Amino acid sequence: MLFLTLFLGIILNMLGYIPPGNINLTVVQITITRGIRQALYFIAAFSAVEVLFTFGVMRFVQWLSSEIKLGDIIDVIMILMFGVLGVITWRSRKEMPKTDYSNKDSIRYGMLLGVLNPMQIPYWLFVGTYLISHEWIDIGYLSLSIFSIGSGIGAGLALYGFARFAQYIQEKFALSSYIVNKSIAILFFALSGYHICKIGYIHFIK
């Protein structure tokens, strides 16, 4: 049973990081502008925090799902987050990449985004409610701990795949940091715009 719980955590969180978001796009950016080594430090730090993040969300999934305005709050946070990341990335598109980076910087950045990760809250609210209501996992500390460890492993594997893919694309097409930063900045702005349109549709059109 615990093995199934671990397996569910790995698979479900791998699937959760496939759609474009602030985390996997950041991994792509770090890989191309700083190198695969710095991306691995980022992924390791992020995955460690993801274990705690998943445990917290899953432990209080029923309480969080009862918060009626939680969806709007998350959308507003993501609008601000994607907007800020877009501005920062756009402004740094013409900067010359450094030849060396501090490992601590990548680790701190990974831990920071691990904490500021609102995109995963709706995902785990839906998935967590389904798993708990169908008794695929229970809310005991041992079961949730195993599930959360699997979640961290799943996040690490998915992001590692993005890092390797970014490395392959860079080597294949010799992409410059300018093109990468500009493209990712546009994606961040597009994701921010999506959530603006979503809020507008829900409150003014629907």
* Structure confidence by residue, pLDDT tens digits, 54-110: 998 888 876 766 655 566 666 777 788 778 877 877 776 665 555 556 778 889 989
pLDDT band at 22; cut points 50, 70, 90: confident
Region at 137 (left for phi over 0; alpha for psi -120 to 50; beta for the rest): beta
C-alpha distances (whole Å) from 141 to each of 6, 17, 78, 107, 153 are 13, 25, 30, 27, 18
Q: Which pLDDT belongs to residue 204? A: 75
The 10 Å CB-count burial string (b at 16+, else e) for 55-85 is bebbeebeebeeeeeeeeebbeebbebbbeb
Task: Name 125's Cβ contacts closer than 8 Å, sequence gap at least 6.
Answer: 57, 61, 64, 65, 70
0.85 cut: is pTM over it? Answer: no
Task: Name 19's Cβ contacts closer than 8 Å, sequence gap at least 6.
Answer: none
For the chain, percent of residues with pLDDT exceeding 90 = 24
68-82, 149-163, 183-197: which range is least confident on average? 68-82
SS3 for 117-154 is CCCHHHHHHHHHHHHHHCCCCCCCHHHHHHHHHHHHHH
